[in-house]
Amino acid sequence: MQKFIFTKTPNLVFEAGGIKKVSNIVSQFGKRVLIITDGVTLDATGRWEEIVRILNQASIAFYHTMLQGEPTPDFVDATTNRFREKNIDVVLSIGGGSVLDAGKAVSAMLTQDVSVTEFIEGIGTAILDGKKLPFIAVPTTSGTGSEATKNAVLRRVGADGFKKSIRHDNFVPDIALIDPELMVSCPPHVTAACGMDAFSHLLESYLSPRANPITDALAYSGLSVLKDNLISACSTGTSNVDVRAGMAYAAYLAGITLANAGLGVIHGFASVIGGLFDIPHGVVCGTLLGSSTRKNIAALKERDPEGTGLDKYARLGALFSGKPYQGSEKTVLVDAFTEITYKWTDLLEIRRFSDYGVVDSDVDKIVEKTKNRDNPIELTQQEIREIFIERM
């Protein structure tokens, strides 16, 4: 069997209604908690009042700050400067992937006395020592898998913008509290983008040359559940807690697999585009899912027809189409999978790049900076260009 390393995962509480246990979970680390939210989701559903009541009943002192949009170095610096002298015991993030990433970064930088920019990969030169405050991640969307990963993604938008991470094995959340009831209020268009993000995470980690037997098993399990719940979560099953639980499970597994197997060209694009344009990450991944799948399969057929990549695409074609894997032509199965990725992109109304102000003159700078990462096959720059142009 191949050699591989598997990174640690959080202690996991996966339970509908699990938010009611938040005071017990926080109390494991102390009585002073900094809470980061998006300032919208919990207020709209009355959940914020419930959380405040639970914490007050347990005599837990809390500070609260809100994140608007995606986390920036400025937000992390301002938050840590504001709360560094408050003797915080634990950081608790409740929200989407951006809120979780913000909390992850803040929990680390509360132990430092310099800007987080100094530690961002490819930007700063300082080396992280792994120190952080305990961190609890409570996702309210099912997409990024940040509740299971060791990196916090930060971005600055503009001509010299970036979307990069601070990263350390110790930054894996101490506890992930996944309560699918918190996801019921997530709007369909957000659910769709987040779900396609989880889809791309599972797909790219499953196809990665760095995949191993554990990541394969987890990614396949996540995809098996996602295929039965994503469309429903965006339509008739929006309020179904079981459907939401399925998506939460898939997203969590996606976080584990991407942390261990890596991601491919879709996320090569995403890291570049996220620094240049204010486009939701899930939209970037979702809109590229079909075109990247088709281009990867064409390249595999041409340059690596006997490799594992095509076989894995065929297995997914069988899974998503219901066609038997044994006895079916591999070409029929991979084509079936490609067709489904396009069908879902249209059905979920995932928008094109031009809808967000991307124009033809932007193509070169995006393509030139996009890396294959852990793609199942090395794509040429022309192939990368064709993936992108198709979704303009």
Q: Quick one: pLDDT at residue 45?
A: 85
**With 80 as the cut, is the pLDDT of residue 51 above it?**
yes
pLDDT for the residue numbered 283? 97
pLDDT digits (tens, 9 = 90+) for 102-154: 999 999 999 999 999 999 999 999 999 999 999 999 999 999 999 999 999 99
Mean of pLDDT values over 334-359: 97
Which whole number is the average pLDDT over 87-101? 97
The 8-class DSSP code of residue 326 comes to T
Topology alike, domains 11-183 and 188-390: no
Instruction: For residues 38-55, give the mean pLDDT.
Output: 90
Decide if 329 contacts 318 (C-beta within 8 A). Answer: no
Q: pLDDT at residue 39 above 90?
A: no
Give me the pLDDT at residue 40, please. 81
pLDDT recorded at residue 72: 96
Of the pLDDT bands very low, low, confident and very high (cuts 50, 70, 90), residue 14 is: very high
Banded pLDDT at 213 (limits 50, 70, 90): very high
Per-residue pLDDT of 272-281, as tens digits, reads 999 999 999 9
Tokens for 336, please give them. 């079936």
Q: Which of 175-184, 325-334, 358-367 has the lowest mean pLDDT?
A: 325-334
pLDDT band at residue 42 using 50, 70 and 90 as cut-offs: confident
Q: What pLDDT, on the 0 to 100 scale, is given for residue 341?
A: 98
Q: 138 and 92 in contact (C-beta within 8 Å)?
A: yes
Residue 43 is predicted with a pLDDT of: 84
Question: Which superfamily does 188-390 belong to?
Answer: Dehydroquinate synthase-like - alpha domain (1.20.1090.10)
- Residues paired with 63 in a beta bridge: 34
- 61 bridge partner residues: 32
103 contacts 67 by C-beta, under 8 angstroms = no
Task: Tell me the fold of 11-183.
Answer: Rossmann fold (3.40.50)
Question: Using a CB cutoff of 8 Å and minimum separation of 24, what contacts does 77-84 make?
Answer: 77/109, 77/115, 77/116, 77/117, 79/36, 79/106, 80/106, 80/109, 80/110, 80/112, 80/116, 83/34, 83/110, 84/110, 84/113
Q: What are the domain boundaries of the chain?
A: 11-183, 188-390
Cα 217-136-266 angle, rounded to 5 deg = 45
Mean of pLDDT values over 10-22: 98
Mean pLDDT of the chain: 96
Percent of the chain at pLDDT exceeding 90 = 95
Residue 317 confidence (pLDDT) above 90: yes
Band the pLDDT of 2: cuts 50, 70, 90: confident
In this prediction, residue 1 carries a pLDDT of 82
User: Running DSSP on this structure, what letter comes out for residue 95?
Assistant: E
- Give the global pTM: 0.96
